[in-house]
Amino acid sequence: MKNLFYYETIVGTIGIAEENGFLTDLFFGEENAPENSVQKESPLLKEAVRQLKEYFTGSRKNFDLPLAPQGTDFQKRDWKALQEIPYGATVSYLDIAQKIGCPKGARAVGLANNRNPISIIIPCHRVIGKNGKLVGYGGGVDKKIKLLELEGAAFKK
């Protein structure tokens, strides 16, 4: 059973879930709650939101939280590569595909990013089109813009 709690942030309401001492989900809004969850704030969820608040004020560049995203092996490789993108930097879908050993897999990377269960902390918002344009974001392009602007990242609107 996952513990889930909602918080208000500069990008709107987010839900964060954890199970067995690992974060499993961070999503926008309240309609995407994971199955088998109960609304209960835990010490780990409090720590996660504390670190997120620091991130939103610009005083935190990296997160230090135990993560357990659930997905395929390909998705997990993608999400691991996303965590290596530095704060304030952007890379293309093709860059990630090449990094994870799938040089023709830019579309597959896009699909894996769309399935990222721990948004912001696993920073799929830092992935943009190879021409520098924003291509999409599961939470909405407006949230992607806000996160990239917060980090001072270069991109084309």
Of 16, 124, 128, 147, the active-site residue reads: 124
Q: Which residue has the higher pLDDT, 149 or 130?
A: 149
pLDDT tens, position by position, 42-80: 999 999 999 999 999 999 999 999 999 999 999 999 999
The stretch 142-157 carries a mean pLDDT of: 90
The stretch 94-123 carries a mean pLDDT of: 96
**Among this protein's residues, is 124 annotated catalytic?**
yes
DSSP notation for the chain: -EEEEEEEETTEEEEEEEETTEEEEEEESSTTPPSSEEE---HHHHHHHHHHHHHHTTS-SS----B-----HHHHHHHHHHTTSPTT--EEHHHHHHHTT-TT-HHHHHHHHHT-SBTTTS-GGGEE-TTSB----TT-HHHHHHHHHHHT---B-
